[in-house]
Amino acid sequence: MGLRLPPVPELSEADRALWSGEAGEGPRMAMRVVLALARAVGAERLIDVTSAHVDGCLYHGEVSLDFALRLLDGGARVAVPTTLNVGAVDLLHPDLYRGDPETGRRARRLMEAYTEMGCRPTFTCAPYQVAEARPGFGEHVAWAESNAIVFANSVLGARTDRYGDFIDACAAVTGRVPDAGLHRTEARRARAVFRLEGIPDRLLDEDVLYPVLGHLVGREAGTLVPAMVGLPPGTSEDRLKALGAAAASSGAVALFHAVGVTPEAPTLEAALQGRPPERELAVTPSAVARARDELSTSAGPAITAVSLGTPHSSPAELERLAGLLDGHGVHPDVELYVSTGRGVLAEAGARGWIAALEGAGARVVVDTCTYVTPIIRRPGGTVMTNSGKWAWYAPGNLGVDVVFGSLEECVTSAIRGEVWRDRGLWAGI
Amino acid sequence: MASGRGSEARALAPGRGGGTALVLEEPLSFWGGVDPATGRVIDARHPQAGEVVAGRVLVVPAGRGSSSSSSVLAEAIRAGTGPAAVVLGEGDPIMALGSVVAAELYGLEVPVVVVGPDAYRALRTGLAVQVDAGADGTASVHISPPR
């Protein structure tokens, strides 16, 4: 039947010590979970990781807290530098949380428990914006959170498989992961080629194109690693961040190559590792227009809120937003939220951008995100966003309608109180 | 008791569980796809939205989407709204982890197994199915003949 039994992974002495409980019950459970994954994916050995990014600090129910406390109370502490993803509560602005108070209390306890385990309280989905947390090329790491995974693999050339809840913390505590998936060179080979054809140069220089490209690639790539041909050399990290986040939302993309842009794709042949692709697709103006339209569920002019900063804003993005809001105020009938990490908040605060944003009526959210927790005051409305990821998840998570647009369109709409479109933006599409 | 046909399977998470099969036509993400308070499929894009997985032998071609699905499956198992067993057409580490952690925390074992294409095709909604999965990776799926 082809259902061969998986190998029993080889263990180091240190692995055996954890397994036998010498370091306590918490680390013992962590090693059991790592080994369960190794068996499930058929890995022959475990490998070391140099860092971890843990997503388990986002509350999904009692099991989230039961698991973290079992580790913590069992003596588990992280063995490698570990950053934390968003939680459900903005601990710096707790009044923003509008959900059930008991759930909020437990969500906060969960965030504290992981901090007590030795994780850094970064509470950001963009750990690659934390200078000391950026892994180098070829480094093995255990990162959770789909946009962080795709950024680490694609833009930094680090190696992480698609880790998520439970295994992220267990990898941090043991410093070990199965030698499988995207840790292995052969799995990083591009198997689907996306060629940009006829996309106007002017549009290639607009931020708004990149989440749309990501959404398109995510929908079409399936389980194949995609390589894109035709992105401009020097495409910014913020654009690659938006592209990857969208591709990891509408699809299962954990690694993409952009020829001449990302580090494992100096040439298409290098990305393909010398083998022919299994699929080739043309990214045409009409395909881009279709993908763009899929990101909106509403065509009307009404909006109740604008959400920016998914994934968490970089300093450059906050500076740009502050510039666009300069001399204006957010319309009284619209809520404008922008999410970022604490580290970026501190930097942007020192530059005066946060005061400028709040002075214009924007609400700055840290530690969490507006699509994973109740923050937006008027649920059931229509929310405008420049994020492909937010546009993909928010309708299901929050029950809102969504309008996708550029940053300028979002900000002008927030000021005017209704959807404003930049008529020339998509010319030629 | 399982007097019908048995098929070889590979265990991703050990345990024993049986019940009435619910065969899903499309892959399922527990996160955003199943309400752990009720066990109901709530993904509006899923063709079988509204079905309830609680106590069923959930037969699904593959997992899909967010890695937070591990948490939602474990939460459903904790709350008693999870499936009695999961039979997959292709391996899914995210579901395996959800089951493994529920067993660690609560001692509730919900087997997760992978079967080959022939055995997968033999599974139909409404059949009584028994799943046995060992810690060594061996597993079997038995279909009881319809009465």
Q: Which of residues 59-118 of A touch B (CB under 8 A)?
A: 60-64, 66-67, 70
Task: Write out the two tokens for A411.
Answer: 């900000």
Active-site annotation of B, residues: 66
Shortest Cα–Cα distance, A247 to chain B (Å) = 11
pLDDT score, position B3: 44
Q: Which of A1, A5, A33 sits opposite B100 (nearest CB)?
A: A33
Q: How many CB pairs under 8 A join A and B?
A: 112
End-to-end CA distance of chain B: 13
**Distance between A39 CA and the closest CA of chain B, angstroms:** 7
B147 CA: distance to closest CA in chain A (Å): 28
The C-alpha atoms of residue A34 and residue A19 are separated, in whole angstroms, by: 10
> B22 CA to chain A: closest CA distance, Å?
23
- CB neighbour class for A185 (10 Å; exposed up to 12, middle 13-18, buried from 19): exposed
Question: What are the boundaries of each domain within chain A?
Answer: 13-183, 189-294, 305-416
Give dist(CA A301, CA A401) in Å, integer: 12
Residue of A nearest to B120 (CA): A1
CA pair distance B60, B86, nearest whole angstrom: 8
State whether residue A276 sits within 8 Å of chain B by CB. no
A46 forms beta bridges with A178
pLDDT in tens, chain A (429 residues): 446 666 778 899 999 999 999 999 999 999 999 999 999 999 999 999 999 999 999 999 999 999 999 999 999 999 999 999 999 999 999 999 999 999 999 999 999 999 999 999 999 999 999 999 999 999 999 999 999 999 999 999 999 999 999 999 999 999 999 999 999 999 999 999 999 999 999 999 999 999 999 999 999 998 899 999 999 999 999 999 999 999 999 888 999 999 999 999 999 999 999 999 999 999 999 999 999 999 999 998 999 999 999 999 999 999 999 999 999 999 999 999 999 999 999 999 999 999 999 999 999 999 999 999 999 998 789 999 999 999 998 988 898 999 999 999 999 999 999 999 999 999 999
Judged by a CB distance cut-off of 8 A, whether residue B110 touches chain A is no
Q: Kindly give the confidence (pLDDT) of every residue in chain B, 147 residues in length, as a single tens digit, with 9 standing for 90 and above.
A: 444 567 889 999 999 999 999 999 998 889 888 999 999 999 887 899 999 999 999 999 988 767 789 999 999 999 999 999 999 998 889 899 999 999 999 999 999 999 999 999 999 999 999 999 998 899 999 998 765
The total of other beta-carbon atoms located within 10 Å of residue B144's CB is 15
Q: Give strand pairing partners of A382.
A: A401
Q: Is the Cβ pair A166, B71 closer than 8 Å?
A: yes
Contact A244, A147 (CB under 8 A): yes
Residues of A in contact with B68 (CB under 8 A): 55, 58, 60, 164-165
What are the extents of the domains in chain B? 6-143
Say if B96 is an interface residue toward chain A (CB within 8 Å): yes
- Contact between chains at A63 and B102 (C-beta distance less than 8 A): yes
Query: CB distance B96–A36 less than 8 Å?
Result: yes
- For domain A13-183, give the fold: Aconitase; domain 3 (3.30.499)
Q: A13-183 with A305-416: one CATH topology?
A: yes
Top-level CATH class of B6-143?
A: alpha beta
Shortest distance between the Cα of B116 and any Cα of chain A, in A, equals: 6
Of the candidates A58, A252, A397, the beta carbon closest to that of B32 is on A397
Of B31, B32, B105, the CB nearest to A63: B105
Quickly tell me which residue has 């937003």 as its tokens: A321
Please report the ipTM that was assigned to this predicted complex. Answer: 0.93
Contact list in A for residue B79 (CB cut-off 8 A) is: 61
The C-alpha angle with vertex B114 and arms to B108 and B117, in degrees rounded to 5, equals: 150
- Which CATH code for domain A305-416? 3.30.499.10
Query: Taking CB atoms and an 8 Å cutoff, what residues of chain B touch A56?
Result: 71
CB contact under 8 Å between A165 and B102, yes or no, is no
pLDDT for position A378: 83
| A55 CB within 8 Å of a chain B CB | yes
CA dihedral A299, A302, A304, A310 (to 10 degrees): 30
Q: What integer best gives the mean pLDDT of chain A? A: 96
CA distance A113 to A31: 19
Residue B1 has a pLDDT of: 40
Establish if A39 touches chain B: CB-CB under 8 angstroms.
Answer: yes
Cβ within 8 Å of A, B 118-147? 118-119, 136-138
Q: Which residues of B touch A66 (CB under 8 A)?
A: 78, 105-106
Q: Is B38's Cβ below 8 Å from some Cβ in A? A: no
Report the C-alpha gap between A285 and A60 in whole angstroms: 40
Question: Is omega for the bond preceding A311 within 30 degrees of 0, making it cis?
Answer: yes
